[in-house]
Amino acid sequence: MPSNTAVAPEISPVMYPSLDEAMKSAMQLHVDGKHADAEQRYRAIIAARPDAAEPRYYLGFLLQQSGDIVEATALIAESIRLDATRAEWHFNFGIVLVKQQKYADAIAAFQQALTLNPRNYYCWTNLGSVFEKTAEPAKAEQCYLSATQLNPACADAYYLLSVLYLGQERFEEANYFNFCGLTTEPVEPASRIRLIHAYHGLGRTQEAVVLLQNWLKDEPDNPTAAHLLATHALHQIPERCSDRYLETTFDEFAPSFDSTLERLKYSIPQRVRSELALLNFPANSKRSLDLGCGTGLNGASLKPVSSTLVGVDISQGMLSLAREKNLYGRLHQSEISDFLEQSKDQYDLILCTDTFVYFGGLEPVFSLISRSLQADGWFFFSTEKLDETSGAKTYQLNTSGRYSHGQSYLACLLNKYGFDTPEFHDVAIRMESGRPITGQFVKAKKKT
């Protein structure tokens, strides 16, 4: 850290015949990253010209960069006393004041900067941020909105608005401004899916379709691009997600799967525990099958009541993590319908949570599950709930890439394949963009 007692070298009038020449030399050292030399040069100029505002400001700016906030604040304040006409100086004065949590003074500094230059985008966003710190959200909102009007192509204010609205549970507005921010970002392979959803959320569906079409031109065999194009273009809607799409998606997702679902407050494992507790099965009494077991989030609840516990998942990455939990007697990598078709085993309890969201029509898999379940056996599953008032009565593919199902459709299938009156429970499956995703947890018993 530069010393406040550094001895300033003299400035020779031969070397620098004017203040401008001396400042140019000092600022070039500053730009070149030679901060110690620049500091000495600024101090020398201040010693030679104590009435000059500019060297004080730039020395203060340098010391702010170096972490000496106290002297930086004093120097910038003195430079403004000498010359109060520079908007940039007031702005940076506000920055050093915020670092010291002097919020009222920072607000005054930013406001003065805006009086001198009302088109300073980052002055508006920083002022808004200080208003959030002082619990004045309405003022913060107006600052961020002003910034979006000044530069609609800059993402910062959109994201700040999104976070502000999210904290106020204004979810529609939070999503809208988050989408606006995403559409200002450059198109990168890692951000394509987020950008596609943003275009759709803003009603710019054709742009989403074009992006997906271009993605498929670059990668004709990419299963994610093909699936999402079907969801957004609404033609050739698949009956279910392809095996390649699911395997690719969940192999990539596996390392962060558990932590992500915890952050999203995924509720189904707790629901499974509660339902098993209500039924009060004897220990080690059930031959249990966990279809779409993933990383084994339900395994800890199933194991105590299971004499046999089998897990099935299409993703080897997910199964590797399930295996580490040491809960399952057997784990199989397979698409669940293929597994059920080939298996001759009978089970007393079949669980299939957060898996039917990747199927449209469920009749074939319900038939196979019924065939694999003993009389009086239990079937637990979850779905994302279809709003049947929209006109759809069976299922629909959503722009998320997942399917939702109608309760009347599910009840009809359960009755057809031999299940007694099922229990449907509306649940918040998880949070998404701060909002609960409505689903259903279903518990049904096979007829004797």
Instruction: Give the DSSP letter string of 85-110.
Output: T-HHHHHHHHHHHHHTT-HHHHHHHH
Would you give the DSSP letter of residue 9? Answer: P
Q: Same domain, yes or no, for 297 and 434?
A: yes
Query: pLDDT digits over 64-122, tens only?
Result: 998 999 999 999 999 999 999 999 999 999 999 999 999 999 999 999 999 999 999 99
Q: How many structural domains comprise the chain?
A: 3
CA-wise closest residue to 45 among 5, 18, 80:
18
Q: Same domain, yes or no, for 263 and 233?
A: no
Q: What integer is the mean pLDDT of 364-384?
A: 97
- Predicted TM-score (pTM) of this structure: 0.78
Sequential DSSP letters for 316-377: HHHHHHHHHHT--SEEEES-HHHHHHH----EEEEEE-S-GGGBS--HHHHHHHHHHEEEEE
Q: Residue 392 has what pLDDT?
A: 66
Angle in degrees, 0-180, between the axes of helices 87-99 and 53-66, rounded to the nearest 10: 30
pLDDT band at 234 (very low <50, low <70, confident <90, very high): low
Handedness of CA 102, 86, 84, 49 (dihedral sign): positive
* CATH code assigned at 65: 1.25.40.10
Pairing of strands 306-313, 286-291: parallel
Q: Same domain, yes or no, for 400 and 429?
A: yes
Q: Residue 3 has what pLDDT?
A: 44
pLDDT higher than threshold 80 for residue 7: no
Handedness of CA 247, 305, 259, 267 (dihedral sign): positive
The number of angstroms, rounded, from the C-alpha of 304 to the middle of its chain's C-alpha atoms is: 35
Q: Same domain, yes or no, for 293 and 428?
A: yes
pLDDT higher than threshold 50 for residue 2: no
Q: Same domain, yes or no, for 142 and 282?
A: no
Q: Same domain, yes or no, for 232 and 284?
A: no
Q: Residue 6 has what pLDDT?
A: 45
> Residue 181 falls within a domain, yes or no?
no
Residues 6+ apart with CB under 8 A from 56: 46, 75, 76, 78, 79, 82
Partner residues linked to 378 by β-bridges: 349, 445
> Residue 282 falls within a domain, yes or no?
yes
Q: What integer is the mean pLDDT of 26-54?
A: 92
> In the listed set 120, 148, 176, which residue is the last one of a domain according to the structure?
148
Distance between CA atoms of 214 and 301, rounded to whole angstroms? 45
pLDDT band at 38 (very low <50, low <70, confident <90, very high): very high
pLDDT band at 235 (very low <50, low <70, confident <90, very high): low
Give the domain range for residue 91. Answer: 19-148
Distance between CA atoms of 29 and 333, rounded to whole angstroms? 62
> Residue 176 falls within a domain, yes or no?
no
pLDDT band at 136 (very low <50, low <70, confident <90, very high): very high
Q: Same domain, yes or no, for 259 and 216?
A: no
Residue pair 113/145 in contact (Cβ under 8 Å)? The answer is: no
> Residue 13 falls within a domain, yes or no?
no
> In the listed set 214, 237, 260, which residue is the last one of a domain according to the structure?
237
Would you give the DSSP letter of residue 52? Answer: -
* CATH code assigned at 304: 3.40.50.150
CA-wise closest residue to 250 among 221, 290, 223:
223
> Residue 170 falls within a domain, yes or no?
no
Handedness of CA 363, 366, 368, 374 (dihedral sign): negative
Residue carrying structure tokens 């009347």: 408
Percent of the chain whose pLDDT exceeds 70: 95
> Residue 190 falls within a domain, yes or no?
yes
The secondary structure element, H or E, covering residue 200 is helix 192-201
Query: pLDDT digits over 423-440, tens only?
Result: 999 999 999 877 899 999
Q: Same domain, yes or no, for 205 and 337?
A: no
Q: Residue 5 has what pLDDT?
A: 43
Return left, alpha or beta for 266; rule: phi > 0 is left, psi -120 to 50 is alpha, else beta. Answer: beta
Percent of the chain whose pLDDT exceeds 90: 83
Distance between CA atoms of 409 and 413, rounded to whole angstroms? 6
Query: What's the residue count for the chain?
Result: 448
Residue pair 445/376 in contact (Cβ under 8 Å)? The answer is: yes
Q: Same domain, yes or no, for 396 and 269?
A: yes
Residues 6+ apart with CB under 8 A from 256: none
Residue pair 291/310 in contact (Cβ under 8 Å)? The answer is: no
Average pLDDT over the chain reads 92
Q: Same domain, yes or no, for 423 and 302?
A: yes
pLDDT band at 213 (very low <50, low <70, confident <90, very high): very high
> Residue 166 falls within a domain, yes or no?
no
Q: Same domain, yes or no, for 276 and 215?
A: no
Distance between CA atoms of 227 and 419, rounded to whole angstroms? 33
Residue type, 393: K
Query: pLDDT digits over 140-167, tens only?
Result: 999 999 999 999 999 999 999 999 999 9
Partner residues linked to 347 by β-bridges: 373
pLDDT band at 130 (very low <50, low <70, confident <90, very high): very high
Q: Same domain, yes or no, for 311 and 418?
A: yes
User: Measuring CA to CA, how many Å separate 279 from each of 202, 290, 349, 409, 429?
Assistant: 46, 18, 12, 26, 22
3-state helix, strand, coil in the chain (%, to 5): 55, 15, 30
